[in-house]
Structure 1
């Protein structure tokens, strides 16, 4: 089944390492990232969840709540967390909850990877990334195979773009990073762009002579 961009993300029941609740209650009015992994006590997943934990301050700075998921029990998650902390050099309480998901929930969300199965032949959860807005709608989804670990710095970059473009009339070009020039959205006229962006914009000349590539300084600091 899965969830399409712009749809309200299902308000799933979450049995987690930090208590039980409905997903929408966990998100509340924040941005959130839900990321699944194939299985506990596996090598790539250990590097991923450790990296995500190390980057928790970066997610906090952006007001993004983090939550993981796989089809393993809470007891399994809690035992594995000790390995993650040891591998990643983490101390204290693990900084985000991990959901003990059900196979049905994973199937409903389009998380199962038919090419990766457990010892009984059942499909494992893929490496999904769902970024959910304060309106509970899906803003971005990424799907990685079990053999490829995710780049969490790229995920943070994407969040910067999503949060900026949610409130400013800009888009972000390839390889954009926060603070770099943005692109004025095509729906704005030059007059509207001049009014919205006091720092102005620059039109890039192209062979077609069409002025659709308009760059403006990152408007993050504008009211």
Structure 2
């Protein structure tokens, strides 16, 4: 059984990503060292040799070039042994030609799954839900997604969110609903009357004084 203390300690947005040491399909990993200075996406799947998980992991693998261009590391996880992981990686490669080159954590003792709140009793106590953690180069968790066991993730949204987080950090702006690269961004609301008047005289796209958009 998962106790309330384990659930209450689930990491939240703004927390530093909990550190751990684990065996993966690419070797032993000290998580804090592996992710240092790079954007990282840590994602869990319920089990090896399952249909939805195979489509998802293949989706991450097929976007290898995109994540490389964004200097973003991928780390997968499920509550399976390293031998199961390796057999599954080999099976998928033989059947589809797709190789999962990113590390997949063997979490047979559920240590990492519990640390990151990937085990949610209402869904399952023995399989990790489809969690996605976006971690910035300083090791801070910036965004978390959770999906149930029977619904696959949206790769387009994962890519969009990564670009949005990086854009927001670089330009100190916010992003509106459905924002895509190349579209206008939202400028922070004015905090003084002088800032409000300055904004009204600007070339921003003004919906109102508190909602203004601009091109990057």
Would you call these one fold, judging by a TM-score over 0.5?
Answer: yes
CA distance in 2, matches of 1:169, 1:201: 16
Aligned to 1:81: 89
Of residues 36, 41, 44, the one that matches 2:49 is: 41
CA contact (8 A) 2:174 2:188 kept: yes
Q: Give structure 1 regions of 4+ aligned residues with deviation exceeding 6 angstroms.
A: 191-194
CA distance in 1, matches of 2:178, 2:161: 10
**Mapping 1:203-214, distance limit 5 Å:** 203-204=206-207, 210-214=208-212
1:110 aligns with 2:113: no
1:144 aligns with 2:147: yes
Aligned to 1:98: 104
**Mapping 1:1-223, distance limit 5 Å:** 1-86=9-94, 88-90=96-98, 94-101=100-107, 102-117=109-124, 122-187=125-190, 189=195, 200-204=203-207, 210-217=208-215, 219=216
Residue 211 of structure 1 and its aligned partner are, at CA, apart by: 1.6
* 1:136-167 Cα distance to aligned partner (Å, 9 max, x none): 00010001000110011100100001001112
Gapped runs of 5+ residues in structure 1? Answer: 205-209
CA distance in 2, matches of 1:63, 1:44: 27
CA RMSD of aligned residues (A): 2.0
Q: After alignment, is 96-105 or 129-138 more displaced?
A: 96-105
CA distance in 2, matches of 1:38, 1:48: 11
Residue 89 of structure 1 and its aligned partner are, at CA, apart by: 3.5
Q: How many residues align?
A: 203
TM-score normalised by length of structure 1: 0.84
CA contact (8 A) 2:187 2:212 kept: yes
* 1:115-150 Cα distance to aligned partner (Å, 9 max, x none): 444xxxx42100000000010000100010001100
SS in 1 for 2:127: strand
* 1:159-190 Cα distance to aligned partner (Å, 9 max, x none): 00100111212111111111111111225635
CA distance in 1, matches of 2:214, 2:130: 35
CA contact (8 A) 1:9 1:136 kept: yes
Q: After alignment, is 98-107 or 18-27 more displaced?
A: 98-107
CA contact (8 A) 1:126 1:146 kept: yes
CA contact (8 A) 1:116 1:146 kept: yes
